[in-house]
Structure 1
Amino acid sequence: MLTGRRYLLAFTPEQEAFAELIADACRVVWNTGLEQRRAYRRRGAFIGYVEQARQMAEAKKAFGWLTQAPSHTLQQTLRDLDKACRTHGTWKVRWRSKRRSAPSFRFPDPRQIVVERLSRGWGRVKLPKLGWARFRWSRTLGGQVRNATVVKDGGRWYISLCVEDGLAEAAPNGRPAVGVDRGVKVAVATSHGKMRDRRFVTPGETLRLKRLAQRLARQKKGSRRRAATRAKIARLNARIRHRRTDFVLWTADRLTRDHGLVVVEDLEVKSMTAAVKGTVEAPATNVRAKAGLNRAILAKGWGGLLTGLQHKARYNGSRIVRVPAAYTSQRCSACGAVDAKSRESQAIFACTSCAYIGNADVNAARNILAAGLAVTGRGDLAVGRSAKRRPPEVQAA
């Protein structure tokens, strides 16, 4: 199976400057290619990767700075753009901002990538035009390299190596099923009553982020001091993000290792965390409350947990099933009655039809598990009509 290995790079100042140049070139190629595709669409025409790659080769003659970047990275940028436009549509693909987008580029040819281990804690990788670059050997490579992606995160450069580990997908482990409810107070609650959560940011870091944001608002745009403040904020946010990633992957590994079926809600996290939009005639209301809810959802890593479950399930022999989220928090797991009044608070569920009282998140997780067992019992592979459902009886004429 294909899997990823991420390592911290130790670029020299010259390599770091050249990596920034490559990332800028890839960003310009992406934005120019996207604008060209949209211009073609406006007049009812189409342009694909082959034609754009040919035009880029001609553009190198007029813009010499394009020749400084490795050709494969620029071609891979156009391939990624082509895939994004075919998957999401030309008008939904986003621009790459110099200020907001993380600098990154990919080397797709494994024949041009050489990885060597230098010592117990260090290794080095040879990349086209960048030469040999040292990195922290934090884990074994464990496979054959297929491609390499270089990205800047929180002021530091990383390399992600896609490797073929030679392992087959694990057989079903035959262990019991579990329902998982994702929340904003507690990150993960299971149908067995276990709660998994972690504080990703300390009170001191929260205060420091607030003070840095105030300092940033008073500084002049384009100044060196403002750039230094933005770098400090980026390092703090990267530290918080790494803790969240560690938590969701650790949780996903435990859930898929201990259970043969993991049932989660089919949530559209992107839509749920969208900003409130209003018009002049009908201004948006509860904007601050919705913004706080969006931050709480994103802070718990809902999307990252689902991605981690799908990745870890391949190695642990588990199966991931998504079920509709409707009424899972309002339905009683004991009697099945649905009543919004049963949810007394964020933590307490007291059924209005029976005497059941319990944790609201655990109750929701049990409803999620019941829905997942019903889906798998009918033979469904997704949310939809069952292939094994009994056909309707023919009425007599």
Structure 2
Amino acid sequence: MAVEEARQGQPDPNHLQVKRLNRRWGAVKLPKFGWVRFRWTRPLGGTVRNATVLRDGGRWYIAFCVEDGLPEAAPNGQPPVGVDRGVVNAVTCSDGWAKDRELVTPGEAKRLRRLQQQLARQKKGSKRRAVTKAKLARLNARIRNRRNDLCVWVANRLTRRHGLVVVEDLNIKDMTAFAKGTIEAPGRQVRQKAGLNRAILNKGWSRLVLALEHAGRYHGCSVVMVNPAYTSQTCSACGHCASENRESQAVFRCVACGQLDHADVNAAKNILAAGLAVTGRGDLAGRRSVKRQPPVTEVG
């Protein structure tokens, strides 16, 4: 199929025609390409609005954006939860539940490094370089599929068991910015920062938020983003904020009240408290409004 390797969107639904050929195969009529066969892997579930053709790992895929016409599910009435995204554990919740997955095996990491070194030595435009690039693409696609599977699995579990999921409103683009600097102002600990950037991007933080918002629509769960400032340094028990509270990556010990907890669980509790305060004031962002919750009146 002679199409561009970059993603190509077709915004006009009148230009798209989809028909089913048999149980396993279908065909779609794309502008400028005509009829293209594809493997029918799941029901469309609605009216097709546009299609995206892309190439990933040496394979061609087509994705349909459909309008299912279903309203958002009613609130499920489940308890809220705060979620802390990390590097050691991809997800840690305020109730102590954590989830992580090995995305790259030691053998795959060794092979990935060897292929990258081989690619750097090969001449640009050569056939051997193209073969090496194809091998790298297939390996990276396998790793990317595992990351997507982790995010979708976690989002499905959280939105089914909780009615409100609170996450930090992180600026991941700035967090993973290159720290090399310039000749006049060189960066500090550049190699350590590069390793941290790879670890953050490897966990798929942004992909997790998208999966939560998508799954929450069908399971009656709301997703709220809160200001991430000082959530890892504040004690969830007494509210004391100090950098000394964080003894290590995993240990949180408050210097004021002596509260001992896992550092990620403590941060998730602070995230949950901030999310409940935001929703109580009617806000849906990290900013706080001047509104206050109505006073509680006791019934005689």
TM-score band w.r.t. shorter chain: over 0.9
Q: In 2, are the aligned partners of 1:148 and 1:160 still within 8 Å (CA)? A: yes
| Larger of the two Rg values belongs to structure | 1
Structure 2 Cα separation of the partners of residues 217 and 374 of structure 1: 52
Any idea what SS the aligned residue of 1:124 has? strand
Q: In 2, are the aligned partners of 1:380 and 1:387 still within 8 Å (CA)? A: no
> How far off is 1:277 after superposition?
4.2
Instruction: Show the 5 A alignment for 1:27-66.
Output: none
> How far off is 1:351 after superposition?
1.7
Structure 2 Cα separation of the partners of residues 257 and 121 of structure 1: 31
> How far off is 1:123 after superposition?
2.4
* Matched residue type, 2:117: Q
Partner of 2:115: 212
Residue of structure 2 aligned with 1:116, choices 16, 19, 33: 19
Instruction: Show the 5 A alignment for 1:31-110.
Output: 103-110=6-13
TM-score normalized with structure 2 length = 0.93
* Matched residue type, 1:266: D
Work out whether 1:166 is the aligned partner of 2:69: yes
The structure with the largest helix share of the pair is 1
Q: In 2, are the aligned partners of 1:106 and 1:148 still within 8 Å (CA)? A: yes
Q: Give the unaligned 5+ runs of structure 1.
A: 1-15, 24-101, 391-397
- Cα 1:385–1:361, aligned 2, differ >3 Å: closer, same or farther? closer
Structure 1 Cα separation of the partners of residues 120 and 182 of structure 2: 28
Partner of 1:287: 190
* Matched residue type, 2:191: R
Q: In 1, are the aligned partners of 2:19 and 2:27 still within 8 Å (CA)? A: yes
Between 265-274 and 199-208, the greater mean CA deviation after superposition: 199-208
Residue of structure 2 aligned with 1:175, choices 47, 59, 78: 78
* Matched residue type, 1:256: T
Structure 2 Cα separation of the partners of residues 121 and 358 of structure 1: 52
- Deviations for 1:141-200, whole angstroms, at most 9, x for unmatched residues? 111111111111121111110111121111111211100000000000000100011111
Any idea what SS the aligned residue of 2:146 has? helix
* Matched residue type, 1:263: V
Work out whether 1:300 is the aligned partner of 2:203: yes
> How far off is 1:278 after superposition?
2.1
Q: In 2, are the aligned partners of 1:379 and 1:387 still within 8 Å (CA)? A: no
* Matched residue type, 1:203: P
Any idea what SS the aligned residue of 2:183 has? coil
Residue of structure 1 aligned with 2:274, choices 356, 364, 371: 371
Q: In 2, are the aligned partners of 1:198 and 1:247 still within 8 Å (CA)? A: yes
Partner of 2:53: 150
Residue of structure 1 aligned with 2:35, choices 132, 135, 138: 132
Partner of 2:143: 240
Q: In 1, are the aligned partners of 2:94 and 2:272 still within 8 Å (CA)? A: yes
Cα RMSD of the aligned pairs, angstroms, is 1.6
Any idea what SS the aligned residue of 2:193 has? helix
Any idea what SS the aligned residue of 1:189 has? strand
Partner of 1:260: 163
TM-score normalized with structure 1 length = 0.71
> What percentage of residue pairs aligned between the two structures are identical?
65
Q: In 1, are the aligned partners of 2:281 and 2:288 still within 8 Å (CA)? A: no
Structure 2 Cα separation of the partners of residues 215 and 297 of structure 1: 26
Structure 1 Cα separation of the partners of residues 190 and 216 of structure 2: 38
Q: Give the unaligned 5+ runs of structure 2.
A: 294-300
Partner of 2:297: none
Any idea what SS the aligned residue of 1:283 has? coil
Structure 1 Cα separation of the partners of residues 258 and 53 of structure 2: 57
